[in-house]
Amino acid sequence: MNDRPEYKAILDFVNPETNQLETIEEIIGFDDNKYPINSYVLCKYYKGDINLENLVSENETPGYIKEHLVPKQVPNNTNLEFSADREYVTIDGVEYKKISR
């Protein structure tokens, strides 16, 4: 917009209607530092619409929500893609499977 990039957040969240992990994308404006990568954000969700409220610390996030969320470590200049079920990740063309401990 006006030769300025708008930033899009890609959020993993626990849908309060289904209790399932989902991903949603939301335009967050022009400030690239407002919501750092892998931060926790308080959101309001209603029937497919999400509003980002403010950052919260990991300690303020309920344990049942954190159980569903796995921070993504994305190195610079890496081609990274997760499968829909998050059981596989492809990094620079090589597929890896998640191992449960």
Instruction: Say whether both 63 and 80 belong to one domain.
Output: no
Distance between CA atoms of 73 and 63, rounded to whole angstroms? 21
Instruction: Say whether both 51 and 36 belong to one domain.
Output: yes
Instruction: Say whether both 74 and 63 belong to one domain.
Output: no
Instruction: Say whether both 60 and 76 belong to one domain.
Output: no
Label residue 34 exposed, middle or buried (CB < 10 Å: 0-12, 13-18, 19+): middle
State the virtual CA torsion across 9, 73, 18, 48 in degrees, nearest 10. Answer: 10
Distance between CA atoms of 28 and 52, rounded to whole angstroms? 8
Instruction: Say whether both 10 and 57 belong to one domain.
Output: yes
Domain ranges, residue 61: 1-69
Phi (first) and psi of residue 84, to 5 degrees:
-60, -35
Residue pLDDT, tens place only, 8-38: 888 888 887 888 888 888 888 888 778 887 7
> pTM (2 decimals)?
0.55
pLDDT at 70: 64
The pLDDT of residue 73 is above 60:
no
Instruction: Say whether both 76 and 29 belong to one domain.
Output: no
How many domains does the chain fold into?
A: 2
